Structure 1
Amino acid sequence: MSLAPRAVLVHRTTEYEELLARHGTHGQAAFFLSSRGRSLDEVAARHERTGRALAEVAAAVPLTWRQSRVERADLDRFLFAPEDVVVVVGQDGLVANAAKYLSGQPVVGIDTDPGRNPGVLVRHRPADAAALLRASVAAGGTADELTMVEAVADDTQRLLALNEIYLGPAGHQTARYRLAGDLADAPAESQASSGVLVGTGTGATGWLRSLWQERRSALPLPGPTDPRLLWFVREAWPSPATGTSLVAGELGRGQGLRLTVESDRVVVFGDGMESDALELTWGQSVRVGISATSLRLTV
């Protein structure tokens, strides 16, 4: 007998809760914001909207299902199961935060603050939750398969990301490394730069796009479901020992970009989550390419 589905509600601490944790009381938090020209009323209103959305989504979970909640800070310690339906209640970025810990489970994105969030990944309202939960487990249910990027180190460490993976110095200063493609005859180059960014079509609305625009790149940006990645080297430094000829490119399915560390330490993190990074030291290598795992976003 198979297990009943489990709805896992993913949320994050609100700004109001963070202010209370820092300042202790509503009054102290209000005073702090007023000294900076802001009002606590708007922050508290967003907190209340988030609470109502969470309650409405929780009430929409079928009675025969199991239910659990996980806060963003605890995602790296939460064990997702194959029968889970992941319901992200919050901002677009929260979907990306959760995506790296999943392995094909359907994801429903619920927008708690329409008009404030772009709604690229949290496309639905709390009132839609019941229908979306049923659709997530129904035969023939419709989902967008969003391309993800992965980094695999030579010691088997692995990192997934929905938007982009960054490889470089922890302080975003300068790292030394050797960059090359997968193929034996691919050109290789020793570089000194502030890092390398490899991004997906979902990430093409954020950090990746800013580099693409800055370079006035002729490479077409991928769409979220396109099996393509773009990569850019940030601020490559020319010197007698380092070059700048390999600073941008495209990766298709089965293709990879390999970075071999030639400095003391390089970090690899995804979707801005620096607290959950791989750490590589001198001589280690890491390959970045399209992941076999995609994000199943219910539509």
Structure 2
Amino acid sequence: MSLPPRAVIVHRATELTELVARHGTRQQAGFFLAGRGRDLAELDERHQAQQEALATVSAAIPLDWRRAVAERNDLDRFGFGPEDVVIAVGQDGLVANVAKYLDGQRVIGINPEPARNPGVLVPHEPDAIADLLTAQTVTERTMVAASTDDGQHLIALNEVYVGHHSHQSARYKLSTPDGLPERQSSSGILVGTGTGSTGWCRSAWQERRSPLALPSPTDPMLCWFVREAWPSPATGTSLTEGLLKSPDTLTVTAESDLVIFGDGMESDTITLTWGQRAELGISPVKLHLVV
């Protein structure tokens, strides 16, 4: 006998919740803001909008479905099942945060604040949730994968970053799919998808006035950029951007301690020590975003 579907509501703590947690009480949080010429009104409004959206979503889940709630900071410890329907209530980045822990589950993006959030990945209003729960029409968005020679692995919806864990220079040997190698010292490497090409990768692309044609979210292609490569007698700057198609990969061999993380989730990282190798390319897993 198969299990009924499980609706997993994913959200992140509001600014009001985090501020009260930091200062101990609501009154103390208000005092902290008042001393800086601000008050809790805006945070109250945003907190209330999210709470109302969460209540609307929860009320629409069928009674015979199972349900669970996961906060953003707990995603790396949450066990998603193949029958789950994931409902992300929040900003667009929340979908990216949860996507790296999924394997084909449908994701519904709910926007609690349409006046503030662009809604690229959370295009739906809370009142639409009843029909969306059973919708089967999805768009498949390309994701990026990083794998190391000791079996570590992660995927990301926007981009993967490879670099030093602090602001020090990252030192490594970079090898492109056509076999060109180069030792580099840089601020790190970004390998991004079409979804991510509107964010961090686009910033790198725009700043250097790159001629690359960035991929779209559904294109089976990645873009990559080396940030602030430093020329020296031992390091070069000739391999600093490009595109990757499956099954091509970008190879990074560490010559200093490095970290790899996806979509800004620095609490969930891969570590590389001197001599270790990482391969970066298109993930076989795609985000299934309900449309």
- Length-normalised TM-score, structure 1: 0.96
Count of paired positions? 291
C-alpha deviation, 1:181, in angstroms: 2.0
Which residue is equivalent to 2:258? 266
Which residue is equivalent to 2:280? 288
Q: Any idea what the Cα deviations from partners look like across 1:140-178, whole Å, max 9, x if unmatched?
A: x21010110000000010011000000000013201100
C-alpha deviation, 1:189, in angstroms: 0.4
Q: Say if 1:172 and 1:195, in contact at 8 Å, map to a contact too.
A: no
Residue type of the alignment partner of 1:245: S
Which residue is equivalent to 2:194? 201
SS of equivalent to 1:134? coil
**Which structure 2 segments of 5+ residues have no match?**
none
Q: Distance in 1 between matches of 2:96 and 2:147?
A: 19
C-alpha deviation, 1:28, in angstroms: 1.4
Answer yes or no: is 1:56 the counterpart of 2:48: no
Answer yes or no: is 1:246 the counterpart of 2:235: no
Which residue is equivalent to 1:138? none
Which residue is equivalent to 2:157? 162
Aligned pairs for 1:100-119 (under 5 A) are 100-119=100-119
Q: Which runs of 4+ in 1 moved over 4 A?
A: none
Q: Distance in 2 between matches of 1:96 and 1:278?
A: 18
Q: Say if 1:231 and 1:250, in contact at 8 Å, map to a contact too.
A: yes
Which residue is equivalent to 1:80? 80
Answer yes or no: is 1:171 the counterpart of 2:163: no
Partner residue of 2:216 out of 213, 223, 229: 223
Residue type of the alignment partner of 2:171: R
Partner residue of 1:210 out of 194, 197, 203: 203
RMSD: 0.9
SS of equivalent to 1:31? helix
SS of equivalent to 2:171? strand
The worse-fitting range, judged by mean Cα deviation, of 227-236 and 32-41 is 32-41
Partner residue of 2:290 out of 264, 276, 298: 298
Percent identical among aligned pairs is 62
C-alpha deviation, 1:222, in angstroms: 1.0
C-alpha deviation, 1:27, in angstroms: 1.8
Q: Say if 1:11 and 1:89, in contact at 8 Å, map to a contact too.
A: yes
Which residue is equivalent to 1:181? 176
Q: Say if 1:228 and 1:253, in contact at 8 Å, map to a contact too.
A: yes
SS of equivalent to 2:134? helix
Residue type of the alignment partner of 1:30: G
Q: Distance in 2 between matches of 1:133 and 1:168?
A: 39
Q: Distance in 1 between matches of 2:167 and 2:227?
A: 10
C-alpha deviation, 1:38, in angstroms: 2.2
